[in-house]
Structures are given as C-alpha cells and as structure tokens.
Amino acid sequence: ETGVTQSPTHLIKTRGQQVTLRCSSQSGHNTVSWYQQALGQGPQFIFQYYREEENGRGNFPPRFSGLQFPNYSSELNVNALELDDSALYLCASSLRGGRETQYFGPGTRLLVL
Amino acid sequence: DAKTTQPPSMDCAEGRAANLPCNHSTISGNEYVYWYRQIHSQGPQYIIHGLKNNETNEMASLIITEDRKSSTLILPHATLRDTAVYYCIVRVEGYGNKLVFGAGTILRVKS
C-alpha cells in the first residue's frame, strides 16, 4: 500500500506567477483535500475533490483552483501568486464511504519572492 | 474556528507517559475526536480517533470523558521522536468533512 505523495517538495516563484502542485492519493482512496499551512500556524482547509468535482471549499479566493483525475490524483493551481501564498501546501487523501480518515502527504514548501 | 482547546506546550521525560489534554465542551453527538501530530516541517500524521469509548492502537490511547467534553491522548512511553505538535480535532465522520486545525500542543520529550 503506497502512501500519499506530493511533488515537488520545494518550489520558489515570484509574485504574479502561477504554480501547479501535484498529489497522488493513497491506494484505495477516492477523495483528496488540500490544506495551506503558514509558518507557525495549523493547516487551513482550501478545498476537497471527490469524483473529479470540488466538494467543499474554505475561505480561499478563486485564484486557488484544483483538479482531480480519474486515477484520484489531484492538482492544486494558484494564479497571480502573492507573497502571503508562501506556505507549506498539504494534500490528504481519504475514502468516501469508508472511515474517511484523512492521511497526509509530506507537503510542498512554496516560497513566493 | 477550531472547536477544541489545548495547552500551548508540554514537556515530558523520555520513557514516561505523555498525557495530552483537550477540551471540546461544545462537541455534538455525532462528532468524533481525532488526534494528529506534526513533526517539524512534515505532513500531519494520523494517530487515533474515537466517538465515546476509549480507544487504543499501536501508537497511543485515547480516553474520552463520559460527558465527551474533554479527552486525553496518552503516549505510554514517550521517546525523543515523539517531539511534535499534537492537534486535537472534532469532526463529523462522513460526508467528506474537512479537518479544522487549531494551534495544537507542542510536546517536547526530553532525555
């Protein structure tokens, strides 16, 4: 059984650029949730994808968007990057219809300069 | 906002039990208590969860009071590798519900 993986591990972008982060779900899971964790804070929910559709969204602007693919992997896209977008981005997978415990990947550290 | 209250930090001697408290006085009948931990700069790691009965797994034990307004996570024999931020979260199981993280408790295990 493979765990949740994320790529890349680290990324540096400049303000105004766009970024795509990737997540592969744990095998057998069909739901992906994305979280943003600023330095010194707990993770904040961005959105969740189930059956390739967004299923719940936190307090994040539309420039944060995502996709889920038929193999349940997912992408997080952020447009028009701002300095405050610098954070650890976490992906968690779970099984809808099962216990729904979320298991996290190692995260992608994004630095916006 | 998080629906739980945890002490900001705790210390524990290596080899001793670490008891991490959590208050969730407004918990609803269908909300579970979840515990995660996060070692520096890594993704949160699931530890354990429960509804009203005490639970135990290979990592920890979860003790939930009878009125469900508080709980305690017990690491029976803490090691240096247990140094982490521990998050207590209440959540309705099912329906794809999100996790709402608070500030957590920084547990420092000292030799």
B44 at A interface, C-beta within 8 A: yes
- Say what the pLDDT of residue B94 is: 67
Q: Determine phi and psi for A65, rounding to 5 degrees.
A: -140, 170
d(CA A12, CA B24): 39
Question: What residues of chain A have any CB closer than 8 angstroms to a CB in chain B?
Answer: 4, 31, 33, 35, 41-45, 48, 50, 55-56, 58, 88, 90, 92, 94, 96, 99-107, 109
Q: Which residues on B lie below 8 Å from A88 (Cβ)?
A: 41
Q: Tally Cβ neighbours within 10 Å of residue A38.
A: 13
- Say what the pLDDT of residue A97 is: 76
Low-confidence ranges of chain A (pLDDT < 70): 1, 98
Q: Determine phi and psi for A84, rounding to 5 degrees.
A: -70, -10
Average pLDDT over residues B50-59: 94
Under an 8 A CB cutoff, do B43 and A4 touch?
yes
According to DSSP, the residues that pair with A8 across neighbouring strands are: none
Out of A56, A99, A107, closest to residue B96 by CB: A56
- Say what the pLDDT of residue B93 is: 73
Under an 8 A CB cutoff, do B46 and A58 touch?
no
Q: Check pLDDT > 80 for residue B95.
A: no
Which pLDDT tens digit goes with each residue over A38-68?
A: 999 999 999 999 999 999 999 999 999 999 9
Which burial class, exposed, middle or buried, applies to B74 when counting CB atoms under 10 A from its CB (0-12, 13-18, 19+)? middle
Q: Determine phi and psi for B80, rounding to 5 degrees.
A: -60, -30
According to DSSP, the residues that pair with B85 across neighbouring strands are: B38, B106
d(CA B9, CA B1): 20
Q: What is the mean pLDDT of chain B?
A: 94
- Say what the pLDDT of residue A1 is: 58
Q: What is the dihedral of CA A95, A100, A106, A108, to 10 degrees?
A: 80
